[in-house]
Amino acid sequence: MPRSRVKAKDTYTPAEVSRILAKVISVEKAQSASDTVYDPTCGSGSLLLKVADEAPGEMTLYGQEMDNATKALAIMNMWLHGYPSAEIKKDNTLSSPHFKDKDDNSKLKTFDFAVANPPFSTKSWSSGFDPANDLYERFKNYGIPPAKNGDYAFLLHIIRSLKETGKGAVILPHGVLFRGNVEAQIRQQIIQRGYIKGIIGLPANLFYGTGIPLVLLCWIKKMLI
């Protein structure tokens, strides 16, 4: 994920918030290791671990993180918490996603569950690739997010990474609910496809280093149109 520096907000999601994400995606229905959960901006892995802890059975965990030191911390956390088989990859999730369909590298691997606390409104989200010619068609039929605001880029990446019956939740700035222009177009397309199951407003000052109010978007993904 794009980062100019590693901050506490980027590496750690508060336990209470992580627990809410796990509840709204109904992770309690996961019963076996064949159930998968993905975090494309996993930081130190705290969100993945909390989701896995809320599941009644074992799950298979996948995460990607751009910062090398933080990725190493995530791997260590997986081992310390009993998930040595978790797959944690290092790279920019948007420009170089590591998890791809085993039969077709032009498609993303899809998961049963996805959660994320991506960097808020990052201005360098398109660094390293051309969104207009995205190999994985994450922006097709939606629109390309603004060049200097990547909130919807991460949201569309997660939608594309979910199975047809997959469930996901992501933490984003409050502005994703009302910003106009192309973001309004993307928002309309997502709503019309019936992906949004619920929106939960979160108070300010939940995360270290940012006092802005946040919104937790939850959805159950249906067939892509």
Q: Give me the pLDDT at residue 173, please.
A: 87
Lowest mean pLDDT among 1-10, 18-27, 114-123, 212-221: 1-10
- Reply yes or no on whether the pLDDT at 69 is more than 90: yes
Which of 125, 61, 57 is closest to 99 using CA atoms? Answer: 61
- Residue 125: both structure tokens together: 């989200």
- pTM score: 0.90
Q: Which residue matches tokens 């933080």?
A: 70
Three-state helix/strand/coil letters over 105-133: EEEECCEEEEEECCCCCCCCCCCCCCHHH
**Mean pLDDT, range 210-224, rounded to an integer:** 65
Reported as half-sphere exposure (CB side, CA atoms, 13 A), residue 179 has a value of 15
Which amino acid type is present at position 83? Y
- Reply yes or no on whether the pLDDT at 60 is more than 60: yes
Domain spanning 8-220: which superfamily?
Vaccinia Virus protein VP39 (3.40.50.150)
Which of 84, 66, 166, 59 is closest to 75 using CA atoms? Answer: 84
pLDDT per residue over 157-175, tens digit each? 999 999 988 999 998 888 8
Domain spans, the chain? 8-220
- Reply yes or no on whether the pLDDT at 1 is more than 50: no
pLDDT per residue over 114-146, tens digit each? 999 998 889 999 999 999 999 999 999 999 999
CB 35 within 8 A of CB 60: yes
Q: Which letter, b or e, does each residue of 107-143 get, where b requires 16 or more Cβ atoms within 10 Å of its Cβ? A: ebebbbbbbbbbbbbbeebbeebebeebebebbeebb
Q: Give me the pLDDT at residue 78, please.
A: 97
